[in-house]
Amino acid sequence: MADIDPSADPVLLQISPDGAAMVTLNRPDKKNAFDEETIASLIDIFETLRVSDGVRLVMIKGAGTTFCAGADLEWMQRQARHDEEDNEADAVALAKMLLALHSLPQLTVALVQGGAFGGGAGLVAACDYAIAVAGTRFCFTEVRLGLTPATISPYVVEAIGARQARALFATAMPFDAERALALGLIQEVAADLDDLAKREEKLADLAFTAAPEAVREAKQLVRDVADRPIDIHLAHDTAKRIAKRRASAEGQEGLAAFLEKRPPAWTNRS
């Protein structure tokens, strides 16, 4: 992945004609670490994408050799001089950014290389899908600084489970892409950057075979049924959901396309 002009905006957004969005963390000289401006830019971009009906896929990558090193050191120094109220305001901004990413209706994919540390690893966990290049390093480093990974914790616990999160949070143990795959933090390991690009394209092809509203509702389905007791109430709820989908315009088009042995309308790509 080529470096992008570090004098430009801290985050870049590119949207292809067919509706694939690429969000690039653009501080390669800082290993794409978060600061106030970066977090604010990400919030604005995710809010824009949330209401962009033409966008079908959202991918996130880092310029340069590192996906995201977590918090910027200069930002942390500024925070250290703040009182608890100001620190809470900064933390709320980061929490809002992660929630905005996690709540996007589109399929979200992290393309990870080099390293993802602290909040950077949290960014990976907040996505639906992640691919990391072999050799990528991960670590939840916060306890080494006397901190906790509080704002990223909901997404990491959802991704890897409570016991694994406790172990990695409390030890700040580094781990590699293969371990991240075994944990469920990522879904694929790419051999190198060329392989990452191929896997990215394959995943994009899959994303564009899926009906946009069905993707939105499938993501919400997981949130709504997770940790609920499996009983007659859940059975009725899920039955209502699939009945609504079958009667929807997408459901009707999907069935018609299948019976007519043609691609459904939403698969068209530029």
The gap from C-alpha 220 to its chain's centroid, in whole angstroms, comes to 15
Q: Are 26 and 12 in contact (CB under 8 A)?
A: yes
To the nearest 10°, report the CA torsion of 17, 20, 26, 32.
180
Q: Please, what's the largest Cα pairwise distance for the chain?
A: 66
CB atoms within 10 A of CB 178: 14
What pLDDT score was predicted for residue 80?
66
62: phi then psi, degrees, rounded to nearest 5: -115, 140
CA 9/CA 231 separation, integer angstroms: 50
Burial class (CB in 10 A: 0-12, 13-18, 19+), 95: middle
144: phi then psi, degrees, rounded to nearest 5: -65, -20
- What DSSP assignment string belongs to the chain? -----TTS-SEEEEE-TTSEEEEEE--GGGTT-B-HHHHHHHHHHHHHHHT-TT--EEEEEESTT-SB-SB-HHHHHHHHTS-HHHHHHHHHHHHHHHHHHHT-SSEEEEEE-SEEETHHHHHHHHSSEEEEETT-EEE--GGGGT---TTTHHHHHHHH-HHHHHHHHHH---EEHHHHHHHTS-SEEESSHHHHHHHHHHHHHHHTTS-HHHHHHHHHHHHHHTT---SHHHHHHHHHHHHHHHHSHHHHHHHHHHHHTS--GGG---
What pLDDT score was predicted for residue 270?
55
CA 129/CA 91 separation, integer angstroms: 25
Closest CA to 258 of 207, 209, 213: 209
What pLDDT score was predicted for residue 87?
77
The whole-model pTM stands at 0.93
Residue-by-residue pLDDT tens, the chain, 270 positions: 445 554 579 999 999 999 999 999 999 999 999 999 999 999 999 999 999 999 999 999 999 999 999 988 887 777 666 677 777 888 899 999 999 999 999 999 999 999 999 999 999 999 999 999 999 999 999 999 999 999 999 999 999 999 999 999 999 999 999 999 999 999 999 999 999 999 999 999 999 999 999 999 999 999 999 999 999 999 999 999 999 999 999 999 999 999 999 999 999 765
What pLDDT score was predicted for residue 1?
44
What pLDDT score was predicted for residue 269?
67
CB atoms within 10 A of CB 49: 20
